[in-house]
Amino acid sequence: MDIGSILLILALFVLVAFFISQPFFDRRRAAGNLQENTREHERSGLLAERDRVLNALQELDFDNALEKIPAEDYPAQRARLLQYGSEILRKLDEFAPQPAGDKPLLATNAENRLEASLAARRTDGPRLAGPGQVSPNGGKVVPASVAAPDDNLEVLLANRRRSRQEEAAGFCPKCGTAIQKTDRFCPKCGARLAS
């Protein structure tokens, strides 16, 4: 055997060894990817839970503004939600990479950050019922973030009902249903109306 054949056999042996060892390297990479995916999944779950707590706090504040919950229960419920939300924020802080020069976030700061997130969700200031509108809570100040989004629709419906009542011409002589000036037949029984 000459030296070229020996080098060719050695190169072939190295390639086969590399090909055979490839699954072992892939398993290590896959295990690392699985661990990273698990961490990302856990972080995503914590973000969703944080949003759920913020929504619960908004609803609690709204219910308190409408006096749907007893005044003595509100502080305890709010404190419990703030504590749970701050625990979630602390867990989320563990996932965030800290720059080398920065100090780690303080645990007491979590409730303040939660309050700031809640305040950021309130885009407008307090909102009162406009002219001709009746506030659902009897004229009390309700933050716009918790006010019913269908208020304008309710006003339109009320105006429509009022205008229909003004157009009423009377009642059907057969069934007694209210009829409009433009009706030629009763909307309930179908009787012909006198023109």
Average the pLDDT over 158-187 and give the result.
77
- Tens digit of each residue's pLDDT (9 = 90 or more) over 46-98: 888 988 998 898 898 888 888 888 889 899 999 999 899 888 888 888 877 65
Higher pLDDT, 131 or 59: 59
What's the start-to-end Cα distance of the chain, in Å? Answer: 121
**Beta carbons within 8 Å of 140's beta carbon, 6+ residues apart:** 65, 66
* pLDDT of amino acid 179: 84
Residue 180 CA to residue 186 CA, distance in Å, equals 9
Annotated domain spans of the chain: 1-124, 149-195
Average the pLDDT over 91-110 and give the result.
63
- Tens digit of each residue's pLDDT (9 = 90 or more) over 8-54: 999 999 999 988 888 777 776 766 677 777 888 888 888 889 889 98
Rounded to the nearest integer, the mean pLDDT of the chain is 75
Residue 163 CA to residue 160 CA, distance in Å, equals 5
Whether pLDDT at 7 is above 60 = yes
Closest by Cα among 145, 161, 142 to 153 = 161
